[in-house]
Homo-oligomer: A and B are copies of this chain.
Amino acid sequence: MNLRIPATLAALGLAGAAFVLADEGMWTFDNPPTKLIQQKYGFTLTQEWLDHVRLSSARLNDGGSGSFVSPHGLLLTNHHVARGQLAKDSTPEHDYIKNGFYAKTEAEELKAPDLEVDVLMSTEEVTARVNAATQNAKTPEQEGAERRKIIAQIERESLDKTGLRSNVVTLYQGGEYWLYRYKEYTDIRVVFAPEEQAAYFGGDDDNFTYPRYDLDMALFRVYENGKPIDSTNYLKWNAKGPSNGDLVFVSGNPGSTQRLDTLSQLEFQRDRALPLELTMLHNRYDTLGKFSKEGSTQEQEASSDMFFDANSIKALTGELQGLQEKRIIDTKREDEEKFHAAVLKNPELKAKYGAAWSDIAEAERKAASRIKERLFHSMDSQLFGFAVTIVDYAAEIKKPDGERLPGFHDADLKSLRFQLGSPAPVYKDLETARITGALELDLKEMGSNDPYLKALMAGRSPQATAHDLVSGTQMNDPEARKKLMEGGQAAVDASTDPMIVLARKVDAMRREQIKWWQDNVESVLDRGGELLGHARFAVYGRNTYPDATFTLRLSYGTMKGYPMNGTIAPPMTTMYGLWDRSDSFGNTGEFYLIPRFAENRDKLRLSTPMNFVTTNDIIGGNSGSPVIDKDGSIVGLVFDGNIESLVGDFVFDIETNRTVAVDTAAMTEALEKLYGAHDLLKEMMGQ
């Protein structure tokens, strides 16, 4: 279940395009690989098919994807994508993660506190307009500023005109800019979730691996104006699931890939960014582990964060190991040398793009000099995050749209207010523990003379700092946050909330860091990446796909086993395997088979396909994506990539890279025979 975007994965890379191999690619809906699919599979993607699939697909702001599976707004995604909302709805009396949830009627549905669902309504290329605005820039800094300005303008114009969330997306490393318009939904309700132990059978051990036996599903219903929406575009439910060899599609929102990062960028990830991020994640995981041992309330409070941290640790470790493989780096080097040579051979291309590689390498050298403070000035506090956002907001909102910090443009404001107004609880004791743990690590990594940490701690111990900040703050109250935000600069200046006071105190230092990083790293990488994007178009043409950007993509592939550890991993698993794996471990721990299954064995057809693998090219963010057959019906629910796919951030390997999905046959069998969710099934099956 890596496929939710790891929350902590810093976006230090660039978007880019890749050589296209069989079944490779996360294609935009405006440039689907129609010819490739026709040639290889004899199937033609029609515009009607594409529109239907696009409008049936959704992006969830919790970092995943989903799809509509009934005409009444029923939205299918993964349990692990829904997990955050289930946690926020849970109480000491009702643990919806552990025990699951099923609303037999609409009235019983649970409000998801701060889930936002976006449906991509239209896209429009704006490359010419963006490029025109930046063409007279003299320096990368200027170019970056001009680009941010024009993008904000395009977004605001679109918002004003259509009322839709409007984002300009950078594709092909800046080779193209596209305006994406989304219908935003914010009234989302929980309809169904199985018990965590059914959704996540095999736990952290089986996470990112296959064969698997997980019912990693959840159903929401999308409301508008107090009523379920009419989702005229939804995927028909194919209760049989796919067969081995079937052509299938995945429509979802892959978060980020670095397929065309230069070698120096991969080396930066391998030698600097990933090891440091892992240090941070391990520290937090250990902090939370200690905290959760203090009692069952603490355990419940820390559970979601620990879950996602364990997930991120496994994902980043896999990525790091992939990058440490000589084979991977050698392949990269070879590709880069070929590409570079092609550019150098043509005098015009050489003059325009020849220096991009060394510019990027230089930016990474600079990044290396200050990467640690980006990670170890974190405080790791949700409450402090609120405070910083409020302080920033007061300052940014006064500026023209194009000059604001990222995240504060007009087009972002609706979403920003929604997040700051979230009623989801923030646990103060958990916050205290997290801040303490983070500051201890920060001190160790940066030293006690670090000016930023000195300002934060003002001579106190990590523990005392955390205690002072958390006990005195009101940042856990959504009303207090809203009031401050609405009060503007005057309210912020007048606040005595210790978190706000601290955010003001370190504001100048923070802004210096952000600006330095933007000017010395991001702008240069953006510009270098853009040059390489153009160079790639010039050398290889446009028969390719852009790196992932957490926007809607289509991938194609087939259901297919793969070589694994000396033998073959099967194309699918069955419910028999759930019993086998559970009994193989003595039915304990992460392999415990819950009574709902164990006691109803004889009701089930045990040969029912449970999970299956396909060659589709996906990555974190694709969690909850539908697997779709040629008829446009849903046959599966993406929930993971296998361990061999982790290096897919950098390289797609058709031999062993696999998407792992829950079979619709298993969901049907379970909903019917184990959960008695007959009405739900009727709705999904159009009966």
Interface residues, chain A, with chain B CB atoms under 8 Å away: 202, 205-209, 211, 244, 314, 318, 561, 564-568, 570-574, 576-577, 579-581, 583-586, 591, 606-607, 642-643
- Which of the residues B207, B314, B583 comes within 8 Å of A576, measured between beta carbons? B583
Query: Closest B-chain residue to A572, C-beta based?
Result: B584
25 chain-A/chain-B pairs, Cβ below 8 angstroms: A206-B567, A207-B567, A208-B566, A209-B566, A209-B567, A244-B586, A318-B566, A561-B585, A566-B643, A567-B643, A568-B585, A570-B581, A570-B584, A570-B585, A571-B584, A571-B585, A572-B584, A573-B580, A574-B579, A576-B606, A577-B577, A577-B581, A579-B606, A579-B607, A580-B580
- Which of the residues B244, B568, B571, B580 comes within 8 Å of A205, measured between beta carbons? B568
Complex: A214 Cα to B202 Cα, angstroms: 24
Complex: A586 Cα to B244 Cα, angstroms: 8
Query: Closest B-chain residue to A321, C-beta based?
Result: B566
Q: Given known contacts A208-B566, A570-B581, A574-B580, what 13 new A-B pairs fall within 8 Å (CB)?
A: A318-B566, A564-B565, A566-B642, A567-B643, A570-B591, A571-B584, A573-B580, A574-B579, A574-B583, A576-B576, A576-B577, A576-B580, A583-B607
Shortest Cβ distance from residue A636 to the other chain B in the assembled complex, whole angstroms: 15
User: Which 3 A-B pairs rank lowest in CB-CB distance, beginning with the nearest?
Assistant: A570-B584, A566-B643, A577-B580
In the complex, chain B residues whose CB is within 8 Å of the CB of A642: 566
Given A206-B567, A568-B205, also A584-B579 (CB < 8 A): no
Complex: A207 Cα to B565 Cα, angstroms: 11
Query: Closest B-chain residue to A326, C-beta based?
Result: B326
Shortest Cβ distance from residue A569 to the other chain B in the assembled complex, whole angstroms: 9
Is the beta-carbon distance between B584 and A577 smaller than 8 angstroms? Answer: yes
In the complex, chain B residues whose CB is within 8 Å of the CB of A573: 580, 584
Tell me the number of copies of this protein: 2
Shortest Cβ distance from residue A565 to the other chain B in the assembled complex, whole angstroms: 5
Complex: A429 Cα to B579 Cα, angstroms: 49
- Which of the residues B205, B244, B577, B583 comes within 8 Å of A567, measured between beta carbons? B205
In the complex, chain B residues whose CB is within 8 Å of the CB of A571: 584-585
Which of A205, A561, A573, A577: most chain B Cβ within 10 A?
A577
In the complex, chain B residues whose CB is within 8 Å of the CB of A244: 586
In the complex, chain B residues whose CB is within 8 Å of the CB of A564: 565
Complex: A208 Cα to B567 Cα, angstroms: 8
Complex: A413 Cα to B547 Cα, angstroms: 73
In the complex, chain B residues whose CB is within 8 Å of the CB of A577: 576-577, 580-581, 584
In the complex, chain B residues whose CB is within 8 Å of the CB of A579: 574, 576, 606-607
Query: Closest B-chain residue to A564, C-beta based?
Result: B565
Shortest Cβ distance from residue A206 to the other chain B in the assembled complex, whole angstroms: 5
Complex: A642 Cα to B566 Cα, angstroms: 9
Query: Closest B-chain residue to A203, C-beta based?
Result: B567
Complex: A643 Cα to B565 Cα, angstroms: 7
Which of A565, A574, A585: most chain B Cβ within 10 A?
A565
Complex: A568 Cα to B573 Cα, angstroms: 17
Complex: A566 Cα to B606 Cα, angstroms: 26
Complex: A561 Cα to B208 Cα, angstroms: 19
Which of A202, A205, A211, A584: most chain B Cβ within 10 A?
A584
In the complex, chain B residues whose CB is within 8 Å of the CB of A209: 565-567
Is the beta-carbon distance between B584 and A211 smaller than 8 angstroms? Answer: yes
Query: Closest B-chain residue to A318, C-beta based?
Result: B566
Complex: A499 Cα to B580 Cα, angstroms: 55
Shortest Cβ distance from residue A566 to the other chain B in the assembled complex, whole angstroms: 3
In the complex, chain B residues whose CB is within 8 Å of the CB of A567: 202, 205-207, 209, 643
In the complex, chain B residues whose CB is within 8 Å of the CB of A206: 567
Is the beta-carbon distance between A574 and B584 smaller than 8 angstroms? Answer: yes
Complex: A574 Cα to B581 Cα, angstroms: 8
Complex: A244 Cα to B589 Cα, angstroms: 14
In the complex, chain B residues whose CB is within 8 Å of the CB of A318: 566
In the complex, chain B residues whose CB is within 8 Å of the CB of A211: 584
Query: Closest B-chain residue to A611, C-beta based?
Result: B584
Shortest Cβ distance from residue A428 to the other chain B in the assembled complex, whole angstroms: 37
Shortest Cβ distance from residue A492 to the other chain B in the assembled complex, whole angstroms: 47
Shortest Cβ distance from residue A276 to the other chain B in the assembled complex, whole angstroms: 23
Complex: A30 Cα to B683 Cα, angstroms: 74
In the complex, chain B residues whose CB is within 8 Å of the CB of A607: 579, 583
Shortest Cβ distance from residue A624 to the other chain B in the assembled complex, whole angstroms: 22
Complex: A625 Cα to B55 Cα, angstroms: 62
Query: Closest B-chain residue to A561, C-beta based?
Result: B585
Complex: A121 Cα to B254 Cα, angstroms: 68
Complex: A244 Cα to B318 Cα, angstroms: 29
Shortest Cβ distance from residue A651 to the other chain B in the assembled complex, whole angstroms: 17
Complex: A576 Cα to B576 Cα, angstroms: 6
In the complex, chain B residues whose CB is within 8 Å of the CB of A581: 570, 577
Query: Closest B-chain residue to A591, C-beta based?
Result: B570
In the complex, chain B residues whose CB is within 8 Å of the CB of A643: 565-567
Shortest Cβ distance from residue A22 to the other chain B in the assembled complex, whole angstroms: 23
Shortest Cβ distance from residue A245 to the other chain B in the assembled complex, whole angstroms: 10
Complex: A572 Cα to B566 Cα, angstroms: 18
Complex: A567 Cα to B581 Cα, angstroms: 12
Shortest Cβ distance from residue A482 to the other chain B in the assembled complex, whole angstroms: 44
In the complex, chain B residues whose CB is within 8 Å of the CB of A570: 581, 584-585, 591
In the complex, chain B residues whose CB is within 8 Å of the CB of A583: 574, 576, 607
Which of A580, A586, A606, A643: most chain B Cβ within 10 A?
A580
In the complex, chain B residues whose CB is within 8 Å of the CB of A580: 573-574, 576-577, 580
Is the beta-carbon distance between B565 and A565 smaller than 8 angstroms? Answer: yes
Query: Closest B-chain residue to A575, C-beta based?
Result: B580
Complex: A564 Cα to B580 Cα, angstroms: 17
Complex: A318 Cα to B565 Cα, angstroms: 11
Complex: A565 Cα to B567 Cα, angstroms: 12
In the complex, chain B residues whose CB is within 8 Å of the CB of A586: 244
Complex: A244 Cα to B577 Cα, angstroms: 20
Shortest Cβ distance from residue A299 to the other chain B in the assembled complex, whole angstroms: 23
Complex: A564 Cα to B584 Cα, angstroms: 15
